[in-house]
Structure 1
């Protein structure tokens, strides 16, 4: 998840327009995208998804950025993305066809003008910040379609505080995250999250983000409680594929 802005005759990563200045702008986006390109090159079985909060108004800005980064060769074309809740290709097919980079933009116009998928045509998302950490209710983000809208095939769950608090993350990841994933599973029409956004992902008091991600992958891949159970199943049943 990256916030991109026009700044200093280039495209930069910033958290807000106010922060896109000489003191607090993070770096030109091309540097991060080249790191991603290097990662995909060195890890031919990995898939990366970029969700862009897109504030770029320069002509064909995203197109030029991704062409310059070398990421086009991994691009999953928007015309082949499922539009009405249909299934995505299985991971092995995406790897075989080298369509290992999915890119979504928050700017509706970019889908038709630059061929970058408009996020809300494909996914639903819960509210970010303190509201999104409520384990008794899962509310959709205002820009998102309703969580139960099954014409959007991807589900993103946010779980991080409005103001980042590193000293509470260990407890929250180990004792609250699973509850939010379960309540959002129900709110999304019994669909598990495809994406999970957190702060301080390494912090936990045991299990935490890694354990919950293993659970999500297990549920999504084979309906099991853990992704490792899917591996056991694939070994015992050669016809089962990821």
Structure 2
């Protein structure tokens, strides 16, 4: 078995000589694409040609959406992916930091939400659907900006550390209850929250999570890698203990005062906004250690300073894939664990879901190419197990 394992891994990274084995494994992943001889996008066994045209949603399979991308000069509607492959449906035996998760920037800032107090909202929106819709489509990282507002804690897309009725979106507890209900209904899913924290009320955040009932899923700081270095527990262990909610705050003092992890002790993160989208450059944001520092988790931002619905289909396509490779090199050949974008459904084909799948392939067998990546589970003990169904098509 060890010899077979090494053969498959060698073939995966292009160094092996067992061509028949590699060919057999490749066929299992994207057989429909090999049959029709075109480049395909696949999700859970449903495949579409990358240029597959459509007239309405019903023309596309599960995990796809019919849309245009005028920013890329694509005016004819085509089927595009809106969901990544869930890596936990294939392997749960790896440490949490050996997976990549689709993450939404300003997850709460949803188009079409009702104004607060009848005052028109001036803040731009960054997503198309509700947080529940995002979770149902495989988003597992949520970026939430929390503020004191109207004697409560609200989600606001604001400025200057203060929330206003023209920048407010909704009460934080309402969103947290949605997350709680999703986690109760999906007992093997793990969710990570990145809180841009402007809450000044003492114990405000910890009380909020308790009132929302999310304490039942809380992953404690004491189980995180000391100083942010080293492996996390395996996801199977997190699921078994029901410690499936990982929460980070931007306020350092709250790790001691409220037991909420300070984000940049555990996460290196690239620059956000226009500066973070410069081609060929992936440097850290001011609060983060440099990308090359070996903290256990990596967050990759890829969205402009001003939300751009029309341009997002271009930002979330080839540009996103290129930036992922750039950040991979900047982080000493380490794959991002969280890929954060605006309008995650928008792309010219595979988009953010395909980027997440590529990253998970790299975690598992050091391949970017689906046709060469069939190893199911590479355990921390270096024991390898196989399942010949093919993963991350």
TM-score after normalising by structure 2: 0.57
Q: What CA distance in whole angstroms lies between the structure 2 residues aligned with 1:220 and 1:77? A: 25
Aligned-pair Cα RMSD in Å: 1.9
Can you list the C-alpha shifts for 1:167-214, whole angstroms capped at 9, x where unaligned? 112122222111100111111121100001101111111111111111
Change (3 A) 1:112 1:226: farther
Tell me which of 184, 199, 203 is aligned to 2:327: 184
- Equivalent residue of 1:87, what SS? coil
Contact (CA 8 Å) 2:270, 2:299: kept in 1 or not?
Answer: yes
Question: Is 1:161 equivalent to 2:161 in the alignment?
Answer: no
Contact (CA 8 Å) 2:364, 2:376: kept in 1 or not?
Answer: no
- Partner residue, 1:91: 235
| Deviation for aligned residue 1:231 | 3.9
Contact (CA 8 Å) 2:158, 2:164: kept in 1 or not?
Answer: no
TM-score after normalising by structure 1: 0.92
Contact (CA 8 Å) 1:159, 1:196: kept in 2 or not?
Answer: yes
Paired residue total: 236
| Deviation for aligned residue 1:229 | 3.0
Structure 2 portions without partners, runs of 5+: 1-142, 378-384, 389-393
Question: Is 1:9 equivalent to 2:144 in the alignment?
Answer: no
- Partner residue, 1:240: none
- Equivalent residue of 1:141, what SS? coil
- Partner residue, 1:235: 387
Question: Is 1:77 equivalent to 2:220 in the alignment?
Answer: yes
Contact (CA 8 Å) 1:83, 1:121: kept in 2 or not?
Answer: no
The list of structure 1 runs, each at least 4 consecutive aligned residues, that deviate by more than 6 angstroms after superposition, is none
- The structure carrying a bigger helix percent of its residues is 1
Q: What CA distance in whole angstroms lies between the structure 2 residues aligned with 1:129 and 1:230? A: 36
Counterparts of 1:1-242 in structure 2, within 5 Å, are 1-17=143-159, 20-84=163-227, 85-150=229-294, 152-225=295-368, 229-231=374-376, 234-235=386-387
Q: What CA distance in whole angstroms lies between the structure 1 residues aligned with 2:169 and 2:206? A: 21
Structure 1 portions without partners, runs of 5+: 237-242
